[in-house]
């Protein structure tokens, strides 16, 4: 585990880091061939369960999906989001992080926030739990979808928080929807890698929600590039299947015992 994280940190300023989300073994086993980091994101709340926010995602839900993902991981660094209300204080965070690590055999956990979680991160790291930070847009606490870095106060806070998180011991930081020049400043000011989502090419790596990348999620976001429209491909396959069933072309002898 420690070697995987050290190898990741060494990529800073040398090689871009590739990250995607996964919520199941089948997808994880594909991503494992191409990704440095596979994140079991609490984005599964909206992607899989149509929740209005990630705040509705439970610890049990994250653990069960992570156990599935772990079966598909052989090479990549696997990180699990700690869901809302599971790290309100250091004691709670340590208990739940230990449970996640034990049950899922992941390589680290991700927490949202800066100064507010500084002491918590220190305690987790002290207890040998690798932590990834998350700054900018914070889905667990922000009530509106709005990019960060326009206001001077936002810029100052994110810069300070990034330094605090590094000091606390995080091995990398996700920057979500952070204005380009600010993302560049944060990245240059840290010795650890930044992973961007809607935060420009100047981050040390990038992450996307897998379902967005393949066009399975019909919603459109500025920071997403769809590399294939898998919804169309699925529709074609289901259409062909339905036609063959109705015309008694499926199953044939090859598909029957």
So where are the chain's domains? Answer: 2-226, 230-257
CB-count exposure of residue 209 (10 Å: 0-12, 13-18, 19+): buried
**Length in residues, the chain:** 257
Q: Which of 222, 194, 220 is nearest to 207 (CA)?
A: 194
pTM here is: 0.96
- Which is catalytic among the residues 119, 176, 179, 244? 176
* Distance, CA of 84 to CA of 155 (rounded, Å): 24
pLDDT digits (tens, 9 = 90+) for 52-111: 999 999 999 999 999 999 999 999 999 999 999 999 999 999 999 999 999 999 999 999
- The CATH T-level fold of domain 2-226 is TIM Barrel (3.20.20)
Is position 244 annotated as part of the catalytic site? Answer: no
What count of Cα atoms within 13 Å lies in the side-chain half-sphere of residue 206? 14
Q: How do residues 101-131 score in pLDDT, each as one tens digit? A: 999 999 999 999 999 999 999 999 999 999 9
Please tell me whether residue 7 adopts helix, strand or coil conformation. Answer: helix
Q: At 11, phi and psi to the nearest 5?
A: -75, -20
Closest CA relative to residue 173, chosen from 130, 224, 119, 222? 130
């Amino acid at each position: 585990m420690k070697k995987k994280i050290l190898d990741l940190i060494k990529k800073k300023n040398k090689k871009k880091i590739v990250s995607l989300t996964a919520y199941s073994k089948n997808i994880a086993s594909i991503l494992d061939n191409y990704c440095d980091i596979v994140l079991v994101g609490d984005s599964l709340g909206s992607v899989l369960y149509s929740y209005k926010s990630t705040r509705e995602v439970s610890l049990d839900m994250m653990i069960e999906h992570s156990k599935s993902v772990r079966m598909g991981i052989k090479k990549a660094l696997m990180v699990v989001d700690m869901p809302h209300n599971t790290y309100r204080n250091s004691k709670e965070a340590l208990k739940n992080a230990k449970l996640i690590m034990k049950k899922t055999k992941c390589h680290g956990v991700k927490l949202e926030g800066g100064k507010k979680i500084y002491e918590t991160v220190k305690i987790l790291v002290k207890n040998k739990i690798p932590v990834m930070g998350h700054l900018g847009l914070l889905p667990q606490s922000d009530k509106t979808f709005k990019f960060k870095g326009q206001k001077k106060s936002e810029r100052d806070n994110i810069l300070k928080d990034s330094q605090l998180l590094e000091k606390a011991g995080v091995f990398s930081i996700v920057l979500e929807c952070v204005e380009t020049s600010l993302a560049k400043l944060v990245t240059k000011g840290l010795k650890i890698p930044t992973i961007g989502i809607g935060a420009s090419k100047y981050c040390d790596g990038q992450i996307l929600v897998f379902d967005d990348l393949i066009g399975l999620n019909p919603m459109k976001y500025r920071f997403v590039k769809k590399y294939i429209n898998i919804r169309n491909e699925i529709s074609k396959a289901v259409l062909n299947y339905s036609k063959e069933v109705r015309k008694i072309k499926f199953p044939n002898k090859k598909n029957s015992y």
